[in-house]
Amino acid sequence: MASAAATHGVDPSYKWKWLEESDTNLLRLNDLPAGLKLGDLLVRVDGKRRLTITDRRKPTPSGKALRLNKTTFQLPKTANPDTITGCFVDGVLTLTVPKAKGQ
């Protein structure tokens, strides 16, 4: 009997869900899986202004590697979703979402 490899997701802890500064909104996620790199993450915004973060790494054959579960956040009304930038250092992902002009 063949068995499919199981993947284990992890729900990151959040230092701040959204932190509003004078000209930006910050989203910070802590304690992401070991071995994860910024390039492993796909960040998208849909037509309803929902920001989704997905782990693009393929499951390992053993199924023992921790993967980030797909995580979705509603963008603040002040956010400009066209110019999001990210930085990943020591297991902490910080996304910077500039505010729209005039906000």
Class at the top of the CATH hierarchy for domain 10-98? mainly beta
**What was the pLDDT predicted at 4?**
44
Supply 54's token pair: 């997905």
Which DSSP string do the residues of 67-80 spell out, in sequence order?
Answer: EEPPEEEEPPTTB-
The 10s digit of each residue's pLDDT in 27-70 is 988 888 778 888 899 999 999 999 999 888 887 777 666 778 88
Q: How far apart are CA 20 and CA 76, in angstroms?
A: 9
Between 1-10, 14-23, 26-35, 72-81, the lowest mean confidence (pLDDT) is in 1-10
pLDDT digits (tens, 9 = 90+) for 11-34: 766 666 788 888 999 998 888 877
